[in-house]
């Protein structure tokens, strides 16, 4: 029974059978053709048997191994590798159907290739998940044909595996490497001029050309007879908290991924950058009530803890409660800290309902409200059509877009920093703001 489930007839076989049937019909009109048609049918049967013996004879087969990362990165292209080796003693034509997770909704995923005898080949394809969670890979189906292409042998390679999709650790590593090599400016990160000095003294060292003359230590110069300068370091161990709103408005999609997932990816990156800059990173998530709290720190496993906490975030599509957030922050965070609040306001009225809590937070901490441009509205505004319905929708879009700018002004008027960002620019804009605030010694 297993054999019959593994056998398929190729297109050439059906074409040949069709020609034979047509030949038999025609031979009734021209009997002289009957011996030719009969011989052709016998030849087809013989060649089909030979094709079957080639594909099923002996222990020859095709080996396949699927290589999947231990975890996938949300919003990024993740490489999946298939290693194939032909153990037949003849060249084969191979069709591979890999049962990728249903979340990708790819119904026509098929890879076709030809392999010489004993040849190995690696095929790499990419998958871009847009939601966190568990993704299940099924088995891999192989459809093998010889050069005759009359029969097709089907082989099922077991490959059931569940892989978690985490927040974008690929993006995190990319910015980490750029930060270490001082190449952040290549990704759009602004080079911010350091304003003044902070007062965290580190050591006295010999003067070298290029040192700031204002830091010369004249007392040390008098004692040693050579120029000495005071060396200062950036003030360290500041607390950076990412406050993530998981409410209803954060579920708006952009390029398949929700605003919440963009915020989660950006908060992971900024937490890692902060730790690399010797600051402490923490996390608070909330909607109608506060969810996860990760106390700020920069211990060796801090990022791993934040990554795991972000992976587990789910939403109940409730309205966010900023009063509960304020009371939790007051109880949890005693030291003045930088609070990066990832949320979304669509109207000025929506901001005004929460503004008093934001003002209270700003009394004790440095608050940056990070919210999103509606890129779909911009597309509508830029639409060149001039019919009446389009003009009506454009006027409404212009009003909503203007309200976003009013929200920025209102926050600034109340002494609250803000970032109005496109979803795809969120990470870069957040890093820029963090570096700017550090350069201005506001944290």
Tokens (6 digits) for 374: 């509606």
Which candidate, 274, 282, 272, 410, places its Cα nearest to that of 349? 410
Which candidate, 113, 346, 329, places its Cα nearest to that of 252? 346
Q: Which residue has the tokens 């969120």?
A: 426
From first to last of the 443 residues of the chain, give the pLDDT tens digit. 555 567 778 788 888 888 888 888 888 877 877 888 888 889 888 988 888 888 888 777 899 999 999 999 999 999 999 999 999 989 999 999 999 999 998 888 899 999 999 899 999 999 999 999 999 999 999 999 998 888 999 999 998 999 999 999 999 988 886 665 555 555 555 555 554 444 455 677 777 776 777 778 877 777 777 878 776 655 557 899 999 999 988 998 888 899 999 999 999 999 999 998 889 999 999 999 999 999 999 888 999 999 999 999 988 888 999 999 999 999 999 899 999 999 999 888 999 999 999 999 999 999 999 999 887 777 776 767 777 777 777 777 787 778 889 999 999 999 999 999 999 999 999 999 998 888 887 77
Tokens (6 digits) for 152: 């097709």
Going from the C-alpha of 110 to that of each of 23, 47, 161, the distances in angstroms are 36, 28, 19
In degrees to the nearest 10, what's the CA dihedral of 135, 136, 139, 143?
A: -40
Phi and psi based region of residue 424 (left: phi greater than 0; alpha: psi -120 to 50; beta: remaining): alpha
Helical H segments across 168-216, by residue range: 169-180
Residue 184 has a pLDDT of 57
E strand or H helix at 166: strand 161-166
Contact 165/135 with Cβ under 8 angstroms?
yes
E strand or H helix at 44: helix 34-56
Residues 6+ apart with CB under 8 A from 76: 128, 168, 170, 171
What distance in Å separates the CA atoms of residue 115 and residue 92, rounded to the nearest whole number? 5
The model's pTM is 0.80
Phi and psi based region of residue 309 (left: phi greater than 0; alpha: psi -120 to 50; beta: remaining): alpha
Contact 234/200 with Cβ under 8 angstroms?
yes
Residue 195 has a pLDDT of 46
Residues 6+ apart with CB under 8 A from 103: 129, 131, 133, 135
Distance of CA 437 to the CA centre of its chain: 27
Residues 6+ apart with CB under 8 A from 276: 176, 179, 180
What distance in Å separates the CA atoms of residue 362 and residue 369, rounded to the nearest whole number? 11
What residues form DSSP beta bridges with 229?
A: 205, 216
Residue 231 has a pLDDT of 66
Q: Residue 394 burial by CB count (10 A; 0-12/13-18/19+): exposed, middle or buried?
A: middle
């Amino acid at each position: 029974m297993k054999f019959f489930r593994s056998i398929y007839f190729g297109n050439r076989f059906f074409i040949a059978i069709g020609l034979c049937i047509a030949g038999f019909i025609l031979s009734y009109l021209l009997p002289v053709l009957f011996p030719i048609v009969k011989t052709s049918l016998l030849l087809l049967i013989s060649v089909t048997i030979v094709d079957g013996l080639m594909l099923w004879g002996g222990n020859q087969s095709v080996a396949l191994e699927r290589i999947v990362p231990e975890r996938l990165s949300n919003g990024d292209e993740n490489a999946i590798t298939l290693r194939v080796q032909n153990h037949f003693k003849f060249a084969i034509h191979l069709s591979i159907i890999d049962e990728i997770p249903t979340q990708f909704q790819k119904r026509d995923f098929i890879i076709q290739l030809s392999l010489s005898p004993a040849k190995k080949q690696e095929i790499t394809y990419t998958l871009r998940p847009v939601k966190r969670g568990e993704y299940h890979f099924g088995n891999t189906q192989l459809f093998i044909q010889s050069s005759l292409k009359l029969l097709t042998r089907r082989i099922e390679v077991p490959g059931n595996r569940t892989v978690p999709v985490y927040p974008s650790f690929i993006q995190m590593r990319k910015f980490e490497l750029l930060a270490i090599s001082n190449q952040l400016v290549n990704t759009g990160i602004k080079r911010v001029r350091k304003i003044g000095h902070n007062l965290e003294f580190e050591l006295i060292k010999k003067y070298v050309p290029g040192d700031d003359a204002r830091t010369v230590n004249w007392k040390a110069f008098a004692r040693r007879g050579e120029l000495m300068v005071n060396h200062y370091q950036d003030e360290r161990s500041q607390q950076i908290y990412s406050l993530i709103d998981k409410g209803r408005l954060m579920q708006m999609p952009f390029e398949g991924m929700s605003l919440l997932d963009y915020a989660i990816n950006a908060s992971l990156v900024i937490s890692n950058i902060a730790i690399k800059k010797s600051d402490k990173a923490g996390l608070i998530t909330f909607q109608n009530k506060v969810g996860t709290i990760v106390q700020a720190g920069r211990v060796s496993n801090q990022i791993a803890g934040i990554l795991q906490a972000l992976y587990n975030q789910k939403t109940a599509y409730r309205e966010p409660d900023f009063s509960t957030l304020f009371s939790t922050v007051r109880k949890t965070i005693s030291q003045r800290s930088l609070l990066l609040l990832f949320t979304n306001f669509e109207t000025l009225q929506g901001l005004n309902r929460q503004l008093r809590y934001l003002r209270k937070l700003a009394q004790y901490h440095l608050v940056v409200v990070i919210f999103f441009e509606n890129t779909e509205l911009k597309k509508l505004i830029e639409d060149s059509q001039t019919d009446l319905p389009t003009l009506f929708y454009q006027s409404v879009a212009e009003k909503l877009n203007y309200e976003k700018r009013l929200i920025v002004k209102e926050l600034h008027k109340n002494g609250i920093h803000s970032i109005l960002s496109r979803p795809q620019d969120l990470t870069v804009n957040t890093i820029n703001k963090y570096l700017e605030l550090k350069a201005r010694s506001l944290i």
